[in-house]
Amino acid sequence: MSKILIIEDEESIRRVLNKVLIQDDKSYSITEAVDGLDGISKINSSKYDLILCDIKMPKKDGIEVLKHILEECPNTPTIMISGHGDLETAVESMRLGAFDYISKPPDLNRLLNSVRSALLNKNFVKKGKSKSRTSSDFNIIGKSEAITNIQKMIDKVSLTNAKVLIQGPNGSGKELVAHQIHMNSLRNSAPFIEVNCAAIPSELIESELFGHVKGAFTSAVKDKAGKFEAANGGTIFLDEIGDMSMSAQSKVLRALQENKIQRVGSERDLIVDVRVIAATNKNLRKEIKENNFREDLFHRLAVIEIDVPSLNKRLSDIPLLVEHFLKDISKSSDHQLKTIDKDGVDQLKKYNWTGNVRELRNVIERLIILSDGKKISKKDVIKYSNK
């Protein structure tokens, strides 16, 4: 169960956010704060997995609240909510350390993608503190022909430095493929740096990827290394690269062509040794025709292409995925280990999984929490799956 705090002075916005989040995942525990001071009070009295915070509020504004969050609970991702005239402040919040910002009225798909990404990032950080990650932590579950072919492709490309483009719908497991390639490569002892391109505004992408020097812009109070420097010797994973702006694409292209970068505000080239893996849920060939993606960048990235299928195209893997999620969720959340009967699994195979493997995992977690007894039945699946 993920605990989410919404700090927003407009009741209508709080109501929309609450409703959308609960509809996406009923296991979310939502707490509301009516202004910045109330938000700080709730942050001081409880721990949260994610915070959504408005920028313009009475008593304490969003920037003040964000600074408090970064000081008191720096590992808690914060998504800022900005009004029409707050873009400059929203960008400033990203520079300070916010995970993302969402404009009002909120684009609900973008909001949910950002929430899921933030919680996934939070879970990786949390697990990383307790033990080092191994390739088994990112196993791709399945024995279907599609998954078998992907595993063979991973085995072939892992020991090379070839750039890889992973394509597939949201929630299908593209990040697992990227992790597997890195963990099976000769770079596995070096950093794996993940960048969610959709979550970074175009105004910040250059600084985020390449870093900046002190004085490069108003809030650049000290030198900062970018993601490419952080990944030096290892792998950088550019997730949702299809959502990157055209101007940012041109800067990434230079880094890939020349293996060197410049921090914002600096004229000094920095040589970087980084393997690039990119992922997208978009058809980049179509995006190229519509002038939304650079063809030269596509050819730089797509040395090796791996297509991850939707769950609907590998329904035979559902029994293995369900068994894996039952064990993994019970272990990580201290819930009683439950099983599921064959009729229950067969019922799950009948559904249309628009959210793919991520959606299936959420449903299994819901069934573990809400079903009675040690065995989940077909009746439980029908009642609690929300399908």
Are 185 and 158 within 8 A, CB to CB? yes
What domains are defined for the chain? 3-126 (3.40.50.2300), 136-309 (3.40.50.300), 312-384 (1.10.8.60)
pLDDT band of 86, cuts 50, 70, 90: low
Query: What is the spatial distance between Cα 137 and Cα 135, in angstroms, rounded to a whole number?
Result: 5
Cα 204 to Cα 30, 87, 280, distances in angstroms: 30, 12, 20
Identify the three-state secondary structure at position 218.
coil
**Confidence check: pLDDT of 234 > 80:** yes
- What integer pLDDT is reported at residue 129 of this predicted model? 38
**pLDDT for 168:** 96
Confidence of residue 318 (pLDDT cuts 50, 70, 90): very high
- Cα–Cα distance measured from residue 356 to residue 27, given in angstroms and rounded to the nearest whole number: 18
Structure tokens at 117: 């990404």
Q: What confidence score (pLDDT) does residue 359 get?
A: 95
- Distance between CA atoms of 260 and 209, rounded to whole angstroms? 12
Give me the mean pLDDT over the 366-387 stretch.
93
Task: Measure the CA–CA gap between 384 and 347, rounded to whole angstroms.
Answer: 12
pLDDT tens, position by position, 236-247: 999 999 988 888
Main-chain phi, psi angles of 32, to 5 degrees? -115, 145
